[in-house]
């Protein structure tokens, strides 16, 4: 990464502090293993494969947190150009509109501006990954039966951030010299969710053409 790009991505422009893994825990060791695969320049398709003898839930949990941190950072870098005025609807071009729904305030799918949607999304994900009943951090504490269902929902919603950034803000990404970084993160995410069937194919539709060129 160039020095200019490092400065962009080192700015504290994320919505929230990064979620970190506690040193000495199994999750921390898995995180290091995943990072080592990436840093070794392994093909991204190989890098996402479940390491021999490791638990799939743990592997997915580590990646969900890592993708949350990285995508939060990507959106943070373009957030100054994503406002209620420029993006009054959370969308991916004219064909795709995303409405927000949760268990509390928005019980029905509700049209929101992109920045409002993003803020609620990051809040919601943060609550999920900090919930010990969903993402247990203690060795020996089992994952709940609903874990994969929650992980899929988080990853599907994070994919929408890529959709919005690529379709509405990619000029800004290019202007900042961050294109290669964002593309690599996207490819890593795409290979991971397709390797373990963690995102519905219809969610991937908005970036289908770009993906077919980028992820051979």
* 215 annotated ligand-binding residue: no
DSSP 14: S
Is 17 in contact with 197 (CB distance < 8 Å)? Answer: no
DSSP-based three-state secondary structure for 97: strand
Which residue from 180, 177, 186 is spatially nearest to 215, judged by alpha carbons?
Answer: 186
* 201 annotated ligand-binding residue: no
* 87 annotated ligand-binding residue: yes
* 164 annotated ligand-binding residue: yes
Beta bridge partners of 110: 100
Enumerate the H helices of the chain as residue ranges.
3-10, 26-39, 44-47, 56-78, 114-129, 147-168, 170-175, 179-195, 201-204, 208-214
Which residue from 88, 71, 63 is spatially nearest to 13, judged by alpha carbons?
Answer: 71
Binding site for Zn(2+), by residue number, is: 82, 87, 164, 169
Binding site, by residue number, is: 82, 87, 164, 169
């Amino acid at each position: 990464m160039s020095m200019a790009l490092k400065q962009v991505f080192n700015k504290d422009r994320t919505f929230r502090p990064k979620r970190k893994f506690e040193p000495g825990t199994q999750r921390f060791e898995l995180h290091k293993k995943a990072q080592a695969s990436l840093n070794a320049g392994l093909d991204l398709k190989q890098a996402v494969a479940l390491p021999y003898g490791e638990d799939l839930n743990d592997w997915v949990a580590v990646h969900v947190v890592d993708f949350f941190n990285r995508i939060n950072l990507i959106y943070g870098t373009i957030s100054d150009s994503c406002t209620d005025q420029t993006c009054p609807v959370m969308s991916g071009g004219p064909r795709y509109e995303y409405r927000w729904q949760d268990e509390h305030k928005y019980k029905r799918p509700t049209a929101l501006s992109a920045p409002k949607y993003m803020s609620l999304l990051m809040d919601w994900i943060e609550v999920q990954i900090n919930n010990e009943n969903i993402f247990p951090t203690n060795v020996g504490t089992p994952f709940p039966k609903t874990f994969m269902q929650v992980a899929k929902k988080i990853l599907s919603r994070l994919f929408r951030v890529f959709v919005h950034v690529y379709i509405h803000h990619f000029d800004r990404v290019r202007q900042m010299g961050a294109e290669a970084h964002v593309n690599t993160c996207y490819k890593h995410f795409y290979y991971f969710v397709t390797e373990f069937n963690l995102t519905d194919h219809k969610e991937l539709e908005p970036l289908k053409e770009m993906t077919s060129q980028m992820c051979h």
